[in-house]
Structure 1
């Protein structure tokens, strides 16, 4: 065994031979590794929570888009079956049902999509939008963003 001397074991000054300081250094190293691992796991947990929030937001948006596209398809079916009814004069019972569903889809309000028409300057008669929904395009779009938060 070597002679005793002062030396470092991690951040501590100790007195003893190297064989006595080695376990203290190992203990210090292990504590440091555990701390880094805990920090890393906390970071992963935070990232996972962020990803779960993003996934939930995307699922909400997909649901909205799915509803929008179903309405759009109903309107397109209506257009085709109205042509069949009015021009070809041979609409089927199923075609009549599609015309009615398309009428409902076309006449239902969609405040967010309607507001986008004004926000993108495709329409400039905002008084009609206000009369229809009681809100300006900016108010509608602001409220629609609040539902995703």
Structure 2
């Protein structure tokens, strides 16, 4: 087998190779031919012809390959496979993100009514019912809110729920809100980043549900995401899905990817 001088990319003869022991460059040789099925002698001739074809040198991701033109196309298969794996991983992340967004939107749309006041009543009832069923600290006001209608909101809506805490007649139980969404109403009102809002809504839907049960890791990963998000940049930096991955980015995907395994019905 001949050597290749990596500096000038030419094939060296055996004599030249011996004189350049200091440049001990090795390579993979790939020679490929296409042959019709037939008698052995004809197939051997095709193989021999391939060996006599002009050889070329090519770098494939830092590895040196030598071969005829058909053979070098096979060397690129490694690159094609790596690119395909990267594309599949990217698609998996996109699908997971879309599934969470879809679940969040379904919860919100299913609860909407034609009247904003009626919808706010549903949202009030969602928080008060959570206090009664999960926190066991519902007040007389909560019980009155629950009794004011038959409609039920089954999912989270961080944006609208945060608005319920504004004004003189607003709710006065921010601790219950923070249990649901991991943040205070005031902090949520500063957020307009939809992927983040979707995450908050999914957490609220699970923790308030009578049917869905979140495993401990579900709540741990959510808390890690919220804490890192709160401390990012000057506070709640929502650029974590743009550019290079950060700790917030990794925490986001860890929580997102755990939902299908860490939540049971």
Shorter-chain-normalised TM-score: which range?
0.3 to 0.5
What TM-score, normalized by structure 2, do the two folds share? Answer: 0.30
Give the number of the structure whose residues are more often helix, by fraction: 1
What TM-score, normalized by structure 1, do the two folds share? Answer: 0.47
Larger Rg: 1
